Amino acid sequence: MLIVGGGPVGLATAIALRQRALSVRVIDLRKPPIDKACGEGIMPDGARWMGDNGVELEPAESFRFRGIRYVDGAAVAEARFAGGHGLGVRRTALHRALVRRAEQLGVRLDWGVRAVGLRAGELETSSGTCRADWLVGADGLGSRVRRWSGLEGGRAARRRRTGIRRHFRVAPWTDLVEVHWTDDCEAYVTPVSPTETGVAILWSGRAHGFAEGLERFPALAGRLEGAPAASVDRGAGPFGRRARAVRKGRLALVGDAAGYLDAITGEGLALGFHQADALAEAIYAGDLTRYERAFRKLIALPFTLIRLLLFAERHPSIRRRMVRTLAREPEIFARLLAIHTRDRPPASLGLGGAVRFVRGLVRA
Ligand SMILES: Cc1cc2nc3c(=O)[nH]c(=O)nc-3n(C[C@H](O)[C@H](O)[C@H](O)COP(=O)(O)OP(=O)(O)OC[C@H]3O[C@@H](n4cnc5c(N)ncnc54)[C@H](O)[C@@H]3O)c2cc1C
pLDDT digits (tens, 9 = 90+) for 257-314: 999 999 999 999 999 999 999 999 999 999 999 999 999 999 999 999 999 999 999 9
Ligand 1, residues at Cβ distance < 6 Å: 4-10, 27-30, 34, 36-42, 114-115, 138-141, 144, 163, 200, 202, 236, 255-257, 263, 266-270, 272
CATH class of the domain whose range is 2-61+90-158+238-309: alpha beta
CATH node for 161-236: 3.30.70
Res 207 pLDDT > 70: yes
Tell me which of 25 and 357 has the higher pLDDT: 25
Name the residue at shortest CA distance from atom 30 of ligand 1. Answer: 140
Average pLDDT for 193-205: 96
Residue 156 — very low, low, confident or very high, per pLDDT cuts 50/70/90?
A: low
Residue 59 — very low, low, confident or very high, per pLDDT cuts 50/70/90?
A: confident
Query: 3-state secondary structure string, the chain?
Result: CEEECCCHHHHHHHHHHHCCCCCCEEEECCCCCCCCCCCCEECHHHHHHHHHCCCCCCHHHEEEECEEEEEECCEEEEEECCCCCEEEECHHHHHHHHHHHHHHCCCEEEECCCEEEEECCEEEECCEEEECCCEEECCCCCCHHHHHCCCEEEECCCCCEEEEEEEECCCCCCCEEEEEEECCEEEEEEEEECCEEEEEEEEECCCCCHHHHHHCCHHHHHHHCCCCECCCCEEECCCCEEECCCEECCEEECHHHHCECCCCCCCHHHHHHHHHHHHHHHHHHCCHHHHHHHHHHHHHHHHHHHHHHHHHHHCHHHHHHHHHHHHHCHHHHHHHHHHHCCCCCHHHHHHHHHHHHHHHHHHC
Q: How far is the CA of 363 from the centre of ligand 1 (A)?
A: 39
The percentage of the chain sitting over the pLDDT mark of 70, rounded to a whole number, equals 99
Res 12 pLDDT > 90: yes
The domains of the chain are located at: 2-61+90-158+238-309, 161-236, 316-363
Are both 2-61+90-158+238-309 and 161-236 of the same fold?
no
pTM of the model: 0.97
